[in-house]
Amino acid sequence: MVKDPEYLERTKRIWLAEQNLSLEKKFEILDALYGEARSLGKFGEDDLLLGLDHDVRLAANLNANVSIPSR
C-alpha cells in the first residue's frame, strides 16, 4: 500500500521527464517485457483473441459516459 500517493506521483513524473528514450528503444523494452511475460506463461499461443470481445465491451461501457472536451 502506498502511504504517500502524492510523493509517488511527483517522483514518477520526475522520473518520466528525465527519460529521453527514443521510440525504437521504447519498442525494444516493450518487446523484451512481452518476451519475459511469455516465458513466464502469462501469454500463450493458444488463442490470442480469447476474451477480446469482453475487453472491447468493457472499454465501450467505461468510455460511454466520458465527455470529450471540445477544442
Q: What is the DSSP letter of 56?
A: H
Over residues 44-68, the pLDDT tens digits come to 666 667 778 888 888 888 877 666 6
C-alpha closest to that of 34 among 25, 43, 23, 45? 43
C-alpha closest to that of 48 among 38, 57, 40? 38
Over residues 1-41, the pLDDT tens digits come to 778 889 989 998 888 888 888 889 889 998 998 889 888 88
